Amino acid sequence: MNTIRYAIAGSAGRMGRTLIEAVQQDPEATLAAALEHPSSPFLGRDAGELVGAPCGIKIGADLDAALAVSDCLIDFTRPEGTFEHIEACKRHKVGIVIGTTGFTAEGKAAIAEASRVIPIVFAPNMAVGVNAVFRLLDVAARILNEGYDIEVIEAHHRHKVDAPSGTALRMGEVVAKALGRDLADCAVYGREGHTGERPASQIGFATIRGGDIVGDHTVLFAGGGERIEITHKSASRLPYAQGALRAGRYLRGRDNGLFDMQDVLGLK
């Protein structure tokens, strides 16, 4: 069995360490390179030591050298870093799995353009369970299409830098599409002061940041006399990492194209 050689961006971060752990547990995966920014204090350390299992791969900052020995780059960093990584992947014709969030519309368009050259899986959440929830939300919204107010509530750790989360926004997009709405026209991100009566077409978002919460997401359908809640709660980052490796396997043998986890899981 040929394993997939992965390069991991941001390898010393919370998600990077979880990806290293997931690669070491996966018989179809090999850690080929671990990347960090040039000023990182972790440069030169054995990447496996970060998760208690030395592997002989030293953390480095040479992106081109890393991609020269890799089949796929996994990136859960920040948009500015991701764009640099995409350009390097294009040079080396290496596929990339992007779990980074916080992109603007222009940034998403740039990713789509890059997918004409290399294969890309770009998804706000790689966890299989979350992607099952996306499908459930589509069904629920079509059934509960009248008489229900819709709110998206999400909670993450204190270190998360974007809000609402990419997963919460994707949940809103799924619901809006099922209802024939444009999320850009009906979304409300927080409320304060005298807001007036809630319009029926609104999709509201509420954000919580604190502690070490990995990620909780709830979509509330509030009707007269009843409430329906669809919730996903993450106890660890491992499901995201395992989903990213599954996405990497999906890219094997593909020359280009833009895909998401619904493609990877065969839900389209």
pLDDT (tens digit per residue) in 182-235: 999 999 999 999 999 999 999 999 999 999 999 999 999 999 999 999 999 999
Tell me the pLDDT tens digit for each residue of 80-128. Answer: 999 999 999 999 999 999 999 889 999 999 999 999 999 999 998 999 9
For residues 250 and 160, membership in a common domain is answered with no
For residues 109 and 199, membership in a common domain is answered with no
Per-residue pLDDT, 1: 60
Please state whether 78 falls in left (phi above 0), alpha (psi between -120 and 50) or beta.
beta
For residues 151 and 229, membership in a common domain is answered with yes
- Say if residues 17 and 51 touch (Cβ distance below 8 Å): yes
For residues 152 and 106, membership in a common domain is answered with no
Per-residue pLDDT, 268: 79
* The length of the chain, given as a count of residues: 268
For residues 144 and 75, membership in a common domain is answered with no
For residues 219 and 243, membership in a common domain is answered with no
For residues 147 and 224, membership in a common domain is answered with yes
For residues 55 and 91, membership in a common domain is answered with yes
Peptide bond into 164 cis (omega under 30): yes
Q: Which residues are catalytic?
A: 156, 160
87: containing domain: 4-122+237-264
For residues 62 and 141, membership in a common domain is answered with no
Phi first, then psi: give them for residue 76, nearest 5 degrees: -125, 60
pLDDT over 70 percentage in the chain: 100
CA distances from 89 to 37, 66, 97 (A): 17, 10, 11
The CATH number covering residue 199 comes to 3.30.360.10
Per-residue pLDDT, 267: 86
The domain tally of the chain equals: 2
- To the nearest 10 degrees (0 to 180), the angle between helices 128-143 and 166-178 is 30
The CATH number covering residue 49 comes to 3.40.50.720
For residues 168 and 83, membership in a common domain is answered with no
For residues 61 and 160, membership in a common domain is answered with no
Sheet strands side by side (includes 4-8):
59-60, 29-35, 4-8, 72-75, 95-98, 119-122, 257-259
